[in-house]
Structure 1
Amino acid sequence: MAGTDDAVAADDDALYVLTAVLLTPAKFPSVLGDDYPEACAALDLPPLADGYGLVLGQDGAGARWTVVVDDVSLVAVAIASWDCGMEYDLSPDQRTVVAALPGWPLAVAVAAPGVPAPHDPEPDPDADRPPLTPPEAGDWGPAQRRLGADEIALQWADWRAQIDDSDFEAPGTEKDLPADADAAPLTGVRRVLAEARAYVDTPPPLGRVRSAFASGDARTLRADGPGWSLVARTDDIAFVLLDEEPGDVLPVGRGPELPALLEALDKMAVRPA
């Protein structure tokens, strides 16, 4: 988290920096969309190959602003420094500012000292979009589903400890399936795995499958699709979240097919630079 003494210029007003996030193909706020182009479109930005940095802060009147900059490296260094508990003065050059958007797309737990409490700026009659707002915590929809998958990825050990491998059913056989199984539409986890498998043959939009570091030689995979999110470790199981099942987290055992699917997804996934 940034120090609240940091300030950058935005529309001739000082912006007291509270935090920042990356908006790149490999790492973007999942509240904004299932993939990188969709996340950019949510902010009316073109999906540049190098991405953007999003700087969240307050102006002198306390209003919330999200300043978009194209100096991705500067924002990445600031985030890495804050994550290590170090101070870093994030002050992007005004020439790198792409846009200043009212509101915040994410919930921010801190506020700048010496200015009014965070609030949306006064409405601009010429603006063609409302202020950005974080998703409602009590609701369930695509944004909350993706945030849930992100949280599982961050707290993998805690979620994994709740799963007993003996609870997974043995792999089914043809005789276990109903006679019309091939004709019936896939639902739930089976649909998710089928759609994820289709990504291997037909690559989805950039950023819809992402791979990040995990312990040892494993990778953490995040994949999203219409109405679903998947989080997995390449050396372990997967978890699925569905729009149609609010708040439920569905574990998927290794079985005979999951390892190969995760390996294939990891090979095609976008990775941090």
Structure 2
Amino acid sequence: MTGTDDTGDDALYVLTAVLLTPAQFPSVLGDDFPSACHSLGLDPRPDGYGVVLGQDGAGARWTVAIDDVSLVAVAIASWDCGMEYDLSPDDRSIVASLPGWPLDVAVAAPGIPAPHDPEELPDGGRAPLAPPASDTWGPAQRRLGADEIALQWTQWREQIGDDETFVPVGPQGSEEPEERADTGEPRGPGGPGEPAEVGTPAGQAESEPGPARRVIDELHAYLDTPPPLGRIRSAFAPGGARTLRADGPGWSLVARTDDMAFLLLDDQPGDVVPVGRGPALPALLEALEKLAVRPA
């Protein structure tokens, strides 16, 4: 935790920070980089922003967007390595100061009141930012769930056996054989980051395409008409592979380019749908990876 050079209630005691760039942004804010920026009232500038979360001298929560992205990137890298770093943004780099926090923050600044929303907002100011509710299911929770699977890939992958039900991956109307064996009902995670059993609805494949089939078709459509910047993101994975995260209206995908994929859907609260590698998935993931943005 660091502070600005200001004194009194105007000081900002920095608790944490995140990047808001085309390749890295809090997915809770939106499906893509422009949407994430607009959720904070920011223009989607090419270099993105650094976003600092802290408290003022009265304990109020504030989210500060700055244009010095490299400063925040260095701070995050230092903290991740267990090193101290004094993140003190220059006033000239501040683009916007917003009340509240859009993310959960587990720490608080010592010696000042507990975190709370500002009692007085600027004239014409927006309502304080707040993290999404944890007891409901919607786009933000769906994206957070996909992020957790990406972080805990090994745990989720170990749950998929040879008899698992899979969604076909080829374009609608293709002759790709479907990998299908088990027809158990889907069971979703009990909470964020908590792996659970996965599957697809019994009989869905045989009766109608269903929402998962629609997602696969939309992913193929991305290859013809690239989506907004940041809607497909690529990150490091072991063994020379890449971890892909893609989002769209009502769905999220997380995949490893050397393995399989998982889908999360607004229409299926809490469920995680596996997509088997099969003959078509490798080519689809390779094509999506070429469209994806990568961290610098």
Report the TM-score when normalising by structure 2.
0.84
Provide closer, same or farther for how the CA distance between residues 227 and 249 of structure 1 changes in structure 2, counting only shifts above 3 A.
Answer: same
Q: Find the partner of 2:163 among 139, 163, 166.
A: 166
Provide closer, same or farther for how the CA distance between residues 14 and 256 of structure 1 changes in structure 2, counting only shifts above 3 A.
Answer: same
State how 1:102-251 maps to structure 2 within 5 Å. Answer: 102-124=99-121, 126-168=123-165, 186-251=209-274
Aligned to 1:76: 73
1:258 equivalent in alignment to 2:254: no
Aligned to 2:189: none
Name the SS for the 1:146 alignment partner. helix
Name the SS for the 1:166 alignment partner. coil
Kindly provide the amino acid, as one letter, of the partner of residue 249 in structure 1: V
C-alpha separation in 2, matches of 1:186 and 1:46: 38
- Identical counterparts, % of pairs: 73
Structure 1 residues 56-65 or 167-176, which shifts more?
167-176
Gaps of 5+ in 2: 169-173, 179-206
Provide closer, same or farther for how the CA distance between residues 33 and 10 of structure 1 changes in structure 2, counting only shifts above 3 A.
Answer: farther
Post-superposition CA distance 1:17-75 (Å, at most 9, x none): 11000000000011110000000000110000000000000011100000110000010
C-alpha separation in 2, matches of 1:135 and 1:10: 31
> Are the counterparts in 2 of residues 10 and 67 from structure 1 also a CA contact under 8 Å?
no
State how 1:28-39 maps to structure 2 within 5 Å. Answer: 28-39=25-36
Report the TM-score when normalising by structure 1.
0.91
User: Alpha-carbon deviation of 1:123?
Assistant: 3.5
C-alpha separation in 1, matches of 2:101 and 2:34: 19
C-alpha separation in 2, matches of 1:257 and 1:51: 35
> Are the counterparts in 2 of residues 10 and 94 from structure 1 also a CA contact under 8 Å?
no
Name the Cα RMSD after superposition.
2.1
User: Alpha-carbon deviation of 1:270?
Assistant: 0.6
Q: How many residues align?
A: 262
1:270 equivalent in alignment to 2:289: no
Name the SS for the 2:274 alignment partner. strand
Name the SS for the 1:39 alignment partner. helix
C-alpha separation in 2, matches of 1:33 and 1:78: 24
C-alpha separation in 1, matches of 2:244 and 2:56: 37
Post-superposition CA distance 1:3-28 (Å, at most 9, x none): x2x01268981111110000000000
1:54 equivalent in alignment to 2:77: no
C-alpha separation in 2, matches of 1:257 and 1:174: 7
Q: Which runs of 4+ in 1 moved over 4 A?
A: 9-12, 169-176
Provide closer, same or farther for how the CA distance between residues 160 and 22 of structure 1 changes in structure 2, counting only shifts above 3 A.
Answer: same
Provide closer, same or farther for how the CA distance between residues 174 and 149 of structure 1 changes in structure 2, counting only shifts above 3 A.
Answer: closer
Kindly provide the amino acid, as one letter, of the partner of residue 209 in structure 1: I
User: Alpha-carbon deviation of 1:189?
Assistant: 1.3
Aligned to 2:3: 7
C-alpha separation in 2, matches of 1:169 and 1:136: 31
User: Alpha-carbon deviation of 1:186?
Assistant: 4.5
Provide closer, same or farther for how the CA distance between residues 48 and 170 of structure 1 changes in structure 2, counting only shifts above 3 A.
Answer: closer
Structure 1 residues 16-25 or 184-193, which shifts more?
184-193
